[in-house]
Structure formats: C-alpha cells, structure tokens
Chains A and B, each alone.
Chain A
Amino acid sequence: MAASVEFLTTPTGTPAGTGASRARGAGRLGHGKRTRAAGRLHVLGIVVLVMAMVLFFTPLIASAIFGFTLPGVGLTFASLSQAFSNPMAVQAVIMTVLLGLLTTAASLALLVPTIVYLHLRAPRAAKLAEALSVIPIVVPAVALVAGAGVFFRAVAPGFLVSPYALVPFYVIITMPLVYRALDAGLSALHLRTLFAAAASLGASPWRTLIGIVLPNLRAALLSAGLLCMAMVLGEFALASLLLQYTFPVFLVETGAAAPRGAAALSFVTMLATWGLLALISLISAAGNRRRRTPAAAPSVTSTAKEQP
C-alpha cells in the first residue's frame, strides 16, 4: 500500500474500521426499509454481487495457483523457498517488521499524550492539530520524499542514509488514520472526570495517563497499532526512493527475475494485510457494541463520576 492516499481514502472516522462498519450499517438500514421485497430474491442484484466476488477473487486465486504450483509438479513451496534463498530476503522482512513496530511505538508515544493534553487543556489548539494531521492526505509519498530530500540534505546530510530515518515519515503518513482512531477512542472517555478523580486521590497526571487512560484505550491503541503495521508492510514509495531495502522493495526486485516467487509472496502479503485490517474492523465493531449496552458502559468512568 505504498500510496498512502489509497489507504486514507475512507471518508471519516477510523478508515478501514469505522468506514466499513458505517457503510454496512447503512446497508442494513436499507434492507429494513424494503420489508415488502424481503420475501423474494433480487436476481439482478445477486448476479452483480456474484460477478463482483468472481472478479475480486480472480487475481488472488491466480497468484495463489501461480505461486504455489508448478506445471507437472502440483502443489509446491519451491517458488517461495527459492525467493527466500536470497540472503537479503530475511533481512528485508526483519527490517520491515522492525520499522512497523518502531512506527507504532513512535506514533503512540507522540500522539496519545498530545491528544490527551489537547482535550484537557487546549481545545482550540486541538482543532489545529486535527487539521494538521490530515494534511498527509494531499501530500503524495513521492512529493514528501522529494521535499524531505531537499531539506535534510541541506540541514543534516547523514540523516536520510539510515533505514530508521523512515520511521518519522511513516508516522506522518499513518497519522491521518492513527490520529482519528486515537481521537475517537479518547473522546469516548470522560477525560476531565478521570483526571480530576485521579488527582483528588493523589495521582500525578502521568500516573493517571498510564494507569487509567491507557487501559481504557486498549481497543483504540490496538487498532492504531495494527493500522501502522498494515501500512508499513505495504509501503513502497518512501523506502524505495530513499534507497532502503524493505520487504516491498525486495518483492519488486524478486518479481523481475522470479514471477512465481513474487506471486506466492504477494498472495501471503495480501492475506496478511487484509487479516490486519479485518482485525481492526472487528475490534471497532466490538467496541461499538460494548458502548451501546448501558450496563457495560466503561466502569471506571461511572465510578469516577461519583467522586467529587
């Protein structure tokens, strides 16, 4: 998913998750209203859906067959293991996973305290921060690299040489989604009440953040982390143009010489990415369900409200 915009596109709320669940909700609304037609099958509609499924699955199935079979041999992992016989392959995978973890950590460490602070102390600056967080949508990765090259080569020439220089830029390109995911999660908590209650019991703000806010934010933190991982797993433009060797860069290199190995790896990558994204929408769906039932409303906040 090198083109960050591809990812960002879902309109409001946390993308993959909320966008999908919202749309699904709207669809269900439509069904409810068409109760008269509920009894019969809508043939033309079903034909469209079945055709869509066939078209959706064709490249996926083709890559699985192309990558995991050989003519005359049948099912085999030969193409895959051949791709991994390249000593750079393992290195590229490790680098990508490491970058994903570092991006997640850096992103959460930067954004969680900031958004909590903005909610509590500076609501007006919060609007500015939110506006800034969506700017990466209109800055294509290629343009970001071009600008970063101009600036850092003039100021700190050695900086862009390190593969870890990718981390801050990954934090930037994941920010529109991660910021919204965290902002939505934090808006659902009664932050003022939590902090006032904890302070009245003698806890410092940092202790409240770590002991009270973070545990209540589990779902949003997990979604944000998975988003970072999914995006870093597919990011190609920045890594390739800054001449770093990550998994997608390795994949393109492999594809030129060994199309079957590349197909096998692509199949596995697509499944992994979709698995991460599906997990996010499951988490957000579970969160919504919990929020709707009053009995299960965040227990910490309900007890906190009774404190003076």
Chain B
Amino acid sequence: MTSARTIPWGAVPFFAFVTVFLIIPVIANVWAALTPAGQLSTASLTQLAEPQYADAFLMTTNLSLVTALLGGILGLILAWALTVVNRPAWLARLVMSYSALASQSGGVPLAFAFIAALGSQGLVTVLVTDVFPGALDDFRLDSFWGVALVYLYFQAPLMTVLILPALGALTQQMSEAAQTMGASRLRYLTDIALPILSPSIVGALLLLFANSFSAYATAYALAGGGLNLVPIVIGFFLRGNVMLDESMAAALATGMMLVIIIAMGIRLLIERRSRRWQLPSNS
C-alpha cells in the first residue's frame, strides 16, 4: 500500500468538520482554562476551589446524586412492574411506550408543564391546598427539591428504558433452579438476581448522573439564575451577566466535562464486564 492509499481522502470533510466544530472548541476550552491572563497558569483551575464555585459543583453533584438514586429506584420498580404484568397487555405496552418518550423529555416545555401543575398558581397546587391548606406552602419549583422533582420526570423512565433489557435477561430457569435447590425468593434476589443486575444498575445510575449534571434548559427555565448549578453559572459568564474573565467560564466547563467523562468512563468499564453475564443468558 502506498501512503496515498492509507489516507481516507473521502472522509476528510467529515474529520475536518468534527475537528473544527467539536475537537478544537473542546481543546480551546481546556487551553483557555489553563491560560487565564494569556500565560500558562493554573490560577483559574485553582479558583474553582473558591467557595462560590465549589458550592456550585457541590450542589450540582448533590442534585445529580439525588435524581440518579431516586430516579434509579423508581425506574427499577417501574421496570419490574413491566416485566411481571402481562395482563392487561395494553397497559404494559402503553407505559413502556410512554417511558421511552418521557425519558427523552426535559427542557423548556417540561419546565412549563410542571409550573402549570405545581407552580404557585398551578392546578395541582390549587387542588391540594383546597383540601390541605398550607401543605405546599414550603414547596417551590425553583428550589433544589423542585428542580429535582422535575428531573425525576425524565430520570425515572430513563432508568426503566436502560434496565429493561437486563431484567429481560434474567431467565425463568435461574429462579426455578434456585427454588429447586431450596432458595427463598429473598435469597434468589440477593444472591443471584442482584449480582447479575448490579453492573447494569450501576452503569445506568452513572448515565443518569451525567445526564442530570449537564442539563441546563430545564433548570434555567424553572429557576432562572436562582439556583447555583454549574451549567447555570457558566451560562451567566457566557451571557456577560458577570464581569469576569473568559478563563473562568472555560475552567468551569472543563471541570464539568471532567466529571462527566469520569462518570461515563466508569460506565464503559462496567458495561464491558457486565456483557460477560448477559451474552450467555440471551442465547
């Protein structure tokens, strides 16, 4: 082979496009984070440890943990219900299709739908306060738990969609074999089902975590600038609402990418391991 043939000329436009609009911006980000005043320095990155930025990372992490764990639990329960209910079939089919759609929702429309339901004038708010006056006085959609609740609307069905294939791989033979050998249902769950499912569950939770960590539109539409989340703080920098250097926004964005890359990297490793379990049981 000559050297000319080893270069895939036909794919050059694609690689050039990805380089200009994705790779270089990412590198520019890291570069800007490392060169605050035109000179190589870790000043911006160390500034991330200052209370206001550290708090943003802490709050975003908390929000992501809470919505990943609660969403994970709810999603697992829903996935379990989907595998055990076969009658009425239309109900299971409806919930399945709806979960797939809801898992992709989010953004501005979802935020306003929740404001219509649970905002201060929302329909559910009015209904509940009619029956239990004052019950929702402390609840606000633009608070931490308000945003967390809205995130659960897509996090829980996302967990369901992610975990269903793994649940389907648990075969009836496995539970029957365990029963034959005298295992209780609890024993089957803790010693067989959970160990087999755990890589898939942890992998899905990491994806939920990353999903919530990078979400911007939903939180912005709900809370405006009121909530100290990393994507919203970066947004403030970029809109020019905060008179500070570009390098700080770049440092925040770099930190954010780092968190997500770590979460997704662990997920990739776990997924490779879990494939060992799933392949034989599928056949």
Q: Which of A's residues lie within 8 Å of B, judged by CB?
A: 1-7, 9-11, 15-16, 19-20, 22-27, 29-31, 33-34, 37-38, 41-42, 44-46, 48-50, 52-53, 56, 58-60, 62-63, 65-67, 110-111, 113-114, 117-118, 121-122, 125, 129, 132-133, 135-151, 154, 168-169, 171-172, 175, 234, 236-237, 240-241, 243, 248, 251-252, 255, 259, 262-263, 265-267, 269-270, 273-274, 277-278, 281
B244 at the interface (CB under 8 A from A): no
Distance in angstroms from B166 CB to nearest chain A CB is 8
- A37-B86, A46-B85, A67-B116 given as contacts; is B29 within 8 A of A6 (CB)? no
Q: How far is the CA of A1 from the CA of B153 in the complex (A)?
A: 13
- A26-B164, A146-B249, A270-B105 given as contacts; is B123 within 8 A of A33 (CB)? no
Q: How far is the CA of A105 from the CA of B105 in the complex (A)?
A: 24
Majority-rule SS of B interface residues: helix
- A3-B211, A29-B168, A241-B239 given as contacts; is B94 within 8 A of A263 (CB)? no
Majority-rule SS of A interface residues: helix
Nearest-CB residue, chain A, relative to B249? A146
Q: List 11 other contacts, CB 8 Å, given A34-B172, A270-B113.
A: A10-B104, A45-B85, A49-B91, A49-B95, A56-B99, A62-B118, A63-B112, A147-B27, A147-B32, A169-B21, A172-B18
Which listed segment binds A: B49-57, B183-191, B253-261? B253-261
Q: How far is the CA of A142 from the CA of B214 in the complex (A)?
A: 8
Q: Which of B96, B114, B207, B261 interacts with A23 by CB under 8 Å? A: B96
Q: Which of A37, A62, A121, A278 interacts with B124 by CB under 8 Å? A: A62
Is the beta-carbon distance between B106 and A26 smaller than 8 angstroms?
no
Is the beta-carbon distance between B28 and A9 smaller than 8 angstroms?
no
Some 21 contacts from A to B, beta carbons below 8 A apart, are: A2-B218, A5-B210, A9-B207, A16-B100, A20-B96, A23-B168, A26-B169, A41-B87, A42-B85, A53-B91, A53-B95, A63-B112, A139-B22, A140-B214, A142-B256, A143-B253, A146-B249, A147-B253, A148-B21, A236-B220, A251-B221
Is the beta-carbon distance between A59 and B113 smaller than 8 angstroms?
yes
Distance in angstroms from B218 CB to nearest chain A CB is 7
Q: How far is the CA of A16 from the CA of B97 in the complex (A)?
A: 10
Distance in angstroms from B115 CB to nearest chain A CB is 6
Q: Which of B14, B84, B85 interacts with A129 by CB under 8 Å? A: B14
- A63-B113, A263-B113 given as contacts; is B246 within 8 A of A149 (CB)? yes
Is the beta-carbon distance between A23 and B161 smaller than 8 angstroms?
yes
